[in-house]
Amino acid sequence: MWGYKIITTNQIDYDKNNRAIRNKILALEPSLRICIACGACTATCTAGNLTPFNIRRMNVLLQRGEYDDLKSELGKCMLCGKCTLVCPRGVNLRNLILKTRETLLNDECHVL
Amino acid sequence: MQTKTIAIIGAGPAGMEASASLAKLGHQVVLIEKKASTGGHLNNWHHLFPDRRPAKELLQKLKQEVNHSNIEVMVNTAVHEVKQNDYRYELVLSEKNVINANAVLITTGFELFDAAKKEEYGYGIYNQVITNSDLEQLFQADNLAAQFKKPVKRVAFVHCVGSRDAKVNNHYCSKVCCVTAVKQSIEFKERMPETEVFCFYMDMRMFGPYYEELYREAQEKWGIVFIRGKISEASQTRDGSLQIKAEDTLASKPLRMNTDLLVLMAGMVPAEGNEHISRQFKLAIGDNRFFKSKDNHFDNQLSDTPGVFLAGACLAPMNITDTISQARAAALRIHEYLTN
């Protein structure tokens, strides 16, 4: 009305972010810790080639406690498992996505 | 001083340099090589990083060094069996030759990872896919462009082929492939300036002196493009060209690209014969399947078996500078062992 608005921060606020969900998901699929962000998963991902879905980026955000995008994005995965096949670190990405979906649902995030 | 005999297994740079050092100290050396010639992988390389020194120059120097009256070189010779009598080793070689050694140095080196095992890159399936070693052979020719059937307007280098890869059980970094890719991409551009050159990397590991400078030169002087992302696959398109896929992780977007040539930077794996050698000498093997030192700080050239020493890329992936340093260190440790 007066020509200005309040914008939210673009920073990852590491002190403010609640990493309880991340810790829960890491306990269910600990292999996420060994990701080196090479992007092979995203390169091979069918959903990622057609939509802005980016599994590597999602996993980084998850580890930082940034869940907002995650809730809307994870539904795009078709669970084909190609990401798991190409991962040079042997991260079980397919299970990670399943466990993340479950965890977010159980925490009453009814977005998926 | 009573002359002592040292058997050195493997006549690559490590074995040759150690032989020369021990000969100069007055010891008798038998240098055993299973292949037809000495020099190891140096024979297959055109120029070396980071100063682009011809590999031939090093080969010549090493060959001059081992041309010494105290050194007997046995090529086409394998070690079949080893017996230990007190502090001596009896080595049964090809054609039932037997040598008695007071000490043994293992310098069996490495082999290049078999790039065909990463089937998704299509080595051995598509003609446009070659390895770092194949490219070195092509660099020997005067006219690089004439070596290809079709014009090469674009070339892509893939780092970490068979390294840092749990899917082929090689968790370690092969160390030298990053700088080799930088070197080869510059050499390519020098010979074919019109060709677009790309390097797909996961992390750039420029660990040695003047490696980082070479990386900068590749960007600044030669316009080589570095894209951070592991190539997930190479496949042929309908018109017969090769398409690669990666994520451009710094742009957070998947990327696809047609390329006329794909160069796979095959990493280092332990030499095939190492398992046999480890059984014969009761040597410990590390989790990375290379030999394991007694102590990786102070006794890097010692094994757990007294009188058996280790040097070079049989211990871990390593460049020639470090290999030569280790060979000289091993010679000194062997000299200490034999004179005490």
Nearest to B24 by CA among B66, B56, B72: B66
Residues B189 and B221 in one domain: yes
| B131 & B252 share domain | yes
B213 and B155 together in one domain: yes
> At which of B242, B268, B294 does a domain end?
B268
Nearest CA in chain B to A53: B253
DSSP E strands, B214-336? 225-228, 233-236, 242-248, 253-259, 261-266, 268-270, 308-310
pLDDT of residue A112: 40
| B149 and B246 co-located in one domain | yes
Q: Are residues B158 and B256 both part of a single domain?
A: yes
Distance CA B238, CA B219 (A): 33
State the total domains in chain B.
2
Residue from A38, A44, A87 to probe the interface with B (highest B Cβ count within 10 Å): A38
Encoded tokens for B178:
């990053």
Q: What is the pLDDT of residue A60?
A: 93
Question: Per residue of chain B (340 residues), what is the pLDDT tens digit?
Answer: 467 899 999 999 999 999 999 999 999 999 999 999 999 999 999 999 999 999 999 999 999 999 999 999 999 999 999 999 877 999 999 988 999 999 999 999 999 999 999 999 999 999 999 999 999 999 999 899 999 999 999 999 999 999 999 999 999 999 999 999 999 999 999 999 999 999 999 999 999 999 999 999 999 999 999 999 999 999 999 988 999 999 999 999 999 999 999 999 999 999 999 999 999 999 999 999 999 999 999 999 999 999 999 999 999 999 999 999 999 999 999 999 999 8
Rounded CA separation B247/B243 (Å): 14
Instruction: Tell me which residue has tokens 């696809």.
Output: B256
| Contact check, Cβ <8 Å, A43/B165 | no
Task: State the pLDDT at residue A73.
Answer: 86
pLDDT of residue A111: 42
Out of A40, A45, A57, the one facing B230 most closely (by C-beta) is A40
Q: What is the pLDDT of residue A107?
A: 62
Q: What is the DSSP letter of B229?
A: S
Residue ranges in chain B assigned as alpha helix (H):
13-24, 55-66, 132-139, 177-191, 211-220, 274-281, 320-339
Q: Smallest Cβ distance to A88: which of B165, B253, B255?
A: B165
Nearest CA in chain A to B119: A86
Answer whether A39 sits within 8 Å of B160, measured CB to CB: no
**Cβ(A55)–Cβ(A37) below 8 Å:** no
Q: Does A84 touch chain B (CB under 8 A)?
A: no
Nearest CB to B167; choose among A37, A56, A90: A90
Cα–Cα distance for residue pair B253/B46, rounded to 1 Å: 37
User: How many residue pairs from chains A and B have C-beta atoms closer than 8 A?
Assistant: 68
- Could you say which of A44, A49, A90 has the minimum Cβ distance to residue B166? A90
Range of the domain at B204: 115-268
Domain CATH code at residue B168: 3.50.50.60
Indicate whether B198 and B179 sit together in one domain: yes
Q: Which domains does chain A show, CATH number per domain?
A: 20-106 (1.10.1060.10)
Residues B184 and B50 in one domain: no
How far off is chain B from A45, nearest CA to CA, in Å? 9
Contacts with B177 (C-beta within 8 Å, 6 or more apart), sequence order: B132, B159, B160, B161, B163, B265, B266, B267
B257 and B323 together in one domain = no
Residues B123 and B61 in one domain: no
By the 8 A CB rule, do B20 and B66 touch?
A: yes
Same domain, residue pair B259 and B293: no
Q: What is the pLDDT of residues B13-65, one digit of tens each?
A: 999 999 999 999 999 999 999 999 999 999 999 999 999 999 999 999 999 99
B257 and B124 belong to one structural domain: yes
| pLDDT tens series, chain A, 112 aa | 678 888 888 888 888 888 889 999 999 999 999 999 999 999 999 999 888 899 999 999 999 998 887 877 888 999 999 999 999 999 999 999 999 988 887 765 444 4
| pLDDT tens-digit series, residues B60-92 | 999 999 999 999 999 999 999 999 987 799 999
The residue among B236, B268, B300 that closes a domain is B268
User: Which long-range contacts link B333-336 to residues 24+ away (Cβ below 8 Å)?
Assistant: B333/B299, B333/B301, B333/B302, B333/B309, B334/B6, B334/B18, B334/B22, B334/B27, B334/B103, B334/B105, B334/B309, B335/B22, B335/B25, B335/B27
Substitution target from B247, B248, B255, B265 for chain A, most A beta carbons within 10 A: B247
- B287 to chain A, minimum CA–CA distance in Å? 16
Bridge-partner residues for B131, per DSSP? B264
Last residue of a domain, one of B252, B268, B284: B268
What's the pTM value of the predicted model, to 2 decimals?
Answer: 0.94
**Strands, sheet with B98-101, edge to edge from the N-terminal-most edge strand:** B79-85, B88-93, B98-101
- Between chains, do A86 and B232 touch, taking CB under 8 Å as contact? yes
Q: Are residues B243 and B148 in the same domain?
A: yes
